[in-house]
């Protein structure tokens, strides 16, 4: 977006609206509208499957640790466990050093946000003209923390369309060198939210090569990596070389282990970045309680609950295959737990969202609220709704049947 565009009243109003939470905007959209049937909430990506049975006993066994301030980098046992899990889950060029290449996070949202501020301080763009802002590249649609971090860091968020034409991932070949030369960080999610797209190894290697050539950081959001239909998604650390140069990955127990309220995740990768990132976190970030980290140790040491979780999601996608079929451009996504449905012929995302609530009691998110307008005025999410497959099978089937009944 140009400076002139930012200064117009219309652009300023649009930017202010876009900066609001998509869920706040959704609440405003359907305010005053009574649901046509008993409500089913498929808007928030909050896992509803049972939490692992070991959570309570482990918390109880470590209650005394709530009486101490935890170290911001995380307890050694957690960092060692996270590093070991990464080596089992991915084909890494070498094992990670738990001391310098892994940090615990209070969930990944705050890590993804603060990483932008750290990158702006640590990365020097190779070419920045006087008065020009450094850039942070963000897939569009995207997770809101990416853009919030870019703005807080004083960078220009540059939204890269991730549409069906580019397999719902940013087109790396479309990036010009002038933009890459002023880039500080590139956010990428695989599997992506909301489309469920998965980047293959070749894509990740190309992105890592660009980062190393131009000197920017890759922030790889891999929170949905354990929810997939057939093949485990490749990871960014696999593609970054033996020193994990210019790459860090973010992982969380929220989706993997159905523990969104625990607020435990981690970041791993390039130790040159993680050193100053830890310094920032020591003064600005929330610490992770010791008992929660012990739960994380158990969660990253156990695969049985993860396999059962994946089975439950795949069963719900089986329902979508049967009930939705080939309507709304639906194709079973390779990863994640969202449906990304094309409703352009029914009036677009906001109109359809209101109809589904008013006529069927089904709450979804307009894709427009998960994306930003591109410089040509288009919005990659405007024609879509996001449906979170987080309820049980019976409720999911009911909601999908209602959706089809409304839209046909």
pLDDT in tens, 177-230: 999 999 999 999 999 999 999 999 999 999 999 999 999 999 999 999 999 999
Angle, vertex CA 301, rays to CA 299 and CA 307, nearest 5: 70
Mode of pairing for the β-strands spanning 135-140 and 102-105: unpaired
Question: How far apart are the two ends of the chain, measured CA to CA in Å?
Answer: 38
Task: CATH 3.90.1150.10 in the chain: give the residue spans.
Answer: 3-50+305-407
Average pLDDT over residues 379-408: 97
Q: Give residue-wise pLDDT tens across range 121-160.
A: 999 887 888 888 999 999 999 999 999 999 999 999 999 9
Place of tokens 């990253």: 300
Q: Give residue-wise pLDDT tens across range 219-260.
A: 999 999 999 999 999 999 999 999 999 999 999 999 999 999
Angle between helix 108-122 and helix 271-284 axes, rounded to 10 deg: 110
- Amino acid 17: pLDDT: 61
Distance in angstroms (rounded) separating the CA atoms of residues 43 and 390: 9
- What are residue 386's DSSP bridge partners? 340, 365
Closest CA to 174 of 136, 135, 137: 137
Distance in angstroms (rounded) separating the CA atoms of residues 125 and 118: 14
Fold of 3-50+305-407: 3.90.1150
Closest CA to 296 of 328, 266, 327: 266
**pLDDT tier, 16 (very low <50, low <70, confident <90, very high otherwise):** low
CB–CB of 320/144 below 8 Å? Answer: no
CATH architecture of 55-301: 3-Layer(aba) Sandwich (3.40)
Residues 6+ apart with CB under 8 A from 174: 160, 166
Average pLDDT over residues 398-403: 98
Angle, vertex CA 229, rays to CA 223 and CA 234, nearest 5: 50
- pTM to 2 decimals? 0.94
Task: CATH 3.40.640.10 in the chain: give the residue spans.
Answer: 55-301
């Amino acid at each position: 977006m140009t400076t002139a565009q930012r200064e117009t009243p219309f652009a300023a109003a649009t930017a202010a609206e876009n900066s609001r939470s998509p869920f706040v905007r959704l609440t405003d959209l359907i305010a005053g509208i009574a649901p046509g049937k008993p409500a089913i909430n498929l808007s928030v990506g909050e896992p509803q499957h049972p939490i692992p049975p070991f959570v309570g006993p482990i918390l109880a066994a470590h209650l005394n640790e709530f009486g101490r301030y935890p170290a911001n980098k995380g307890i050694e046992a957690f960092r060692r466990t996270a590093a070991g899990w990464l080596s089992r889950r991915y084909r890494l060029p070498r094992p990670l050093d738990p001391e310098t290449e892994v940090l615990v996070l209070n969930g990944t949202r705050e890590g993804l946000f603060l990483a932008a501020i750290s990158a702006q301080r640590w990365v020097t763009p190779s070419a920045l003209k006087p008065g020009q802002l450094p850039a942070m590249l963000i897939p569009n649609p995207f997770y809101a923390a990416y853009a919030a971090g870019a703005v807080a860091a004083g960078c220009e968020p540059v939204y890269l369309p991730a549409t069906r034409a580019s397999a719902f991932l940013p087109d790396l070949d479309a990036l010009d060198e002038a933009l890459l030369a002023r880039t500080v960080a590139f956010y990428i999610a695989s599997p992506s939210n909301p489309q469920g797209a998965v980047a293959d190894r070749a894509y990740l290697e190309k992105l890592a090569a660009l980062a190393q050539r131009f000197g920017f950081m890759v922030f790889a959001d891999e929170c949905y990596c354990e929810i997939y239909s057939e093949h485990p998604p490749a990871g960014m650390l696999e593609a970054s070389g033996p020193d994990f140069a210019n790459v860090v990955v973010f992982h969380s127990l929220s989706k993997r282990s159905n523990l969104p309220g625990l607020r435990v995740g981690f970041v791993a990768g390039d130790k040159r970045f993680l050193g100053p990132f830890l310094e920032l976190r020591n003064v600005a970030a929330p610490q992770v309680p010791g008992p929660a980290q012990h739960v994380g140790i158990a969660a990253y040491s156990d695969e049985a609950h993860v396999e059962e979780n994946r089975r439950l999601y795949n069963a719900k996608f089986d329902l979508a295959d049967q009930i939705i079929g080939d309507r709304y451009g639906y194709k079973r996504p390779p990863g994640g737990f969202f449906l990304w449905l094309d409703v352009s012929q029914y009036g677009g995302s906001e109109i359809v969202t209101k109809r589904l609530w008013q006529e069927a009691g089904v709450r979804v998110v307009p894709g427009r609220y998960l994306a930003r307008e591109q410089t040509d005025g288009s919005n990659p999410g405007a024609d879509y709704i996001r449906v979170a497959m987080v309820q049980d099978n019976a409720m999911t089937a009911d909601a999908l049947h209602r959706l089809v009944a409304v839209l046909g």
